[in-house]
Structure 1
Amino acid sequence: MTWTVSVIFDHMVVDETYHFEKEGEAAKCKADLERKYRGQRLYSIKMEEVE
């Protein structure tokens, strides 16, 4: 299993995607990206498990 963290622009278009082998690394990346894009309403961050 791998994990992806995606930055989604305007809640429709994937702007950036990062891939991780460990859930903990993906969660840290998600938290860092949420801090980076805080206050920018057009961006959202999504973390998914991929088989």
Structure 2
Amino acid sequence: MLDISVRLHGTDHPYKWHVNDREEGFAVLDGTVDMHQREAEQAHRVQTARQ
């Protein structure tokens, strides 16, 4: 990954993300994430699960 952007956000409430303008790294330290994304005008939903 070239020109990577990394930000750390700590929250226990729903978080409004942003539009990606380049490649990004994404990590979840605890809990679950319900991620909604759009690609080629198609909406997708991905949910992470704690194991």
TM-score, normalised on structure 2?
A: 0.29
Q: Which has the higher contact order (CA 8 A, sep 6+)?
A: 1
Larger proportion of strand: 1
TM-score, normalised on structure 1?
A: 0.29
Say which one has the larger Rg.
2
